[in-house]
């Protein structure tokens, strides 16, 4: 079972979209996939067609030990461990708890039925994200094709270096460029700079900027279900293949 955290402390880089669509592509390829929503906004949960406000329990309750994985995971083509606004209080509630960095790892240790567990981290480097990095074996870093991405990667690499004291096995699987438009010189320049700086971990697949990718979540669907054959569907199929091959 591969546990992959999708993480970037900057919001708006397509992280949730990437988790959902990579998960869907892996599922269609025959893999058993669990998505884990770790953002209090519940964007991944809503993108999968589930209303967070209507849930009685979430990943927060699993981390807190008040509910089991079996009670909270929502079954479907893609299984989902959902999030609600209760997760917003995690940093405060769990701050004084012994072993607070290992709560998610402990919860995920009870599952064996999946080939991939994909963790959608919040856009910050708080306790929930640290839990994800401790629980994961690998991380994927979605970055928008703009120059602020380079500074963000430096900050994230520093955090990963610190987390390795808690999780020595954690490795950066790859960097995935999102919102890419080959017609824009800036996008091309940023991709080439990322290739120069991170030649061993940059995914070759570029996720093209596409309206359908923004529309699909509002219908509770992944891009392949919403617009099969679209640029977004093709790109995420290719990215999922790259991720699967980098075992």
What is the structure's pLDDT at 46? 94
What are the DSSP calls for 203-234, one per residue?
EEEEEE--HHHHHGGGGT--HHHHSTTSHHHH
Q: Helix, strand or coil for residue 17?
A: helix
- Tokens standing for residue 206: 């570029």
What is the structure's pLDDT at 160? 77
The ranges assigned to domains in the chain are 2-245
- Tokens standing for residue 93: 């509630």
For the chain, the helix, strand and coil percentages under 3-state DSSP, each to the nearest 5: 45, 15, 35
Q: Crossing angle for the helix pair 15-28 and 231-245, nearest 10 degrees?
A: 70
What is the structure's pLDDT at 227? 93
Cα gap 132→141, rounded to integer Å: 13
What is the structure's pLDDT at 151? 72
| Residue pLDDT, tens place only, 32-83 | 999 999 999 999 999 999 999 899 899 999 999 889 998 999 998 899 999 9
| Residue pLDDT, tens place only, 208-227 | 999 999 999 999 999 999 99
Cα gap 210→221, rounded to integer Å: 15
- Stretches where the chain sits below pLDDT 50 are none
What is the structure's pLDDT at 61? 94
What is the structure's pLDDT at 156? 72
- Enter the CATH code of domain 2-245: 3.40.50.300
């Amino acid at each position: 079972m591969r546990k992959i955290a999708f993480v970037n402390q900057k919001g708006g880089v397509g992280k949730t979209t990437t988790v959902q669509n990579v998960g869907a592509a892996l599922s269609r390829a025959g893999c058993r996939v669990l998505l884990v929503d770790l953002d209090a906004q519940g964007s991944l949960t809503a993108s999968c067609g589930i209303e967070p406000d209507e849930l009685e329990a979430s990943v927060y309750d699993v981390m807190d030990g008040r509910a089991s994985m079996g009670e909270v995971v929502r079954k479907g083509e893609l299984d989902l461990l959902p999030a609600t606004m209760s997760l917003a209080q995690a940093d405060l509630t769990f701050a004084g708890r012994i072993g607070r960095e290992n709560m998610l790892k402990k919860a995920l240790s009870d599952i064996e039925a999946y080939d991939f567990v994909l963790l959608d981290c919040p856009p910050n480097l708080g306790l929930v994200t640290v839990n994800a990095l401790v629980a994961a074996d690998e991380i994927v870093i979605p970055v928008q094709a703009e120059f602020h991405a380079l500074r963000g990667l430096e900050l994230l690499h520093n955090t990963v270096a610190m987390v390795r004291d808690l999780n020595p096995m954690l490795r950066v699987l790859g960097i995935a460029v999102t919102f890419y438009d080959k017609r824009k010189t800036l996008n091309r320049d940023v991709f080439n700079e990322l290739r120069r700086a991170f030649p061993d971990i940059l995914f070759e697949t570029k996720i093209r900027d596409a309206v359908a990718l923004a529309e699909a979540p509002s219908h509770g669907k992944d891009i392949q279900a919403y617009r099969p054959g679209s640029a977004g569907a093709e790109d995420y199929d290719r990215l999922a293949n790259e991720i699967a091959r980098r075992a």
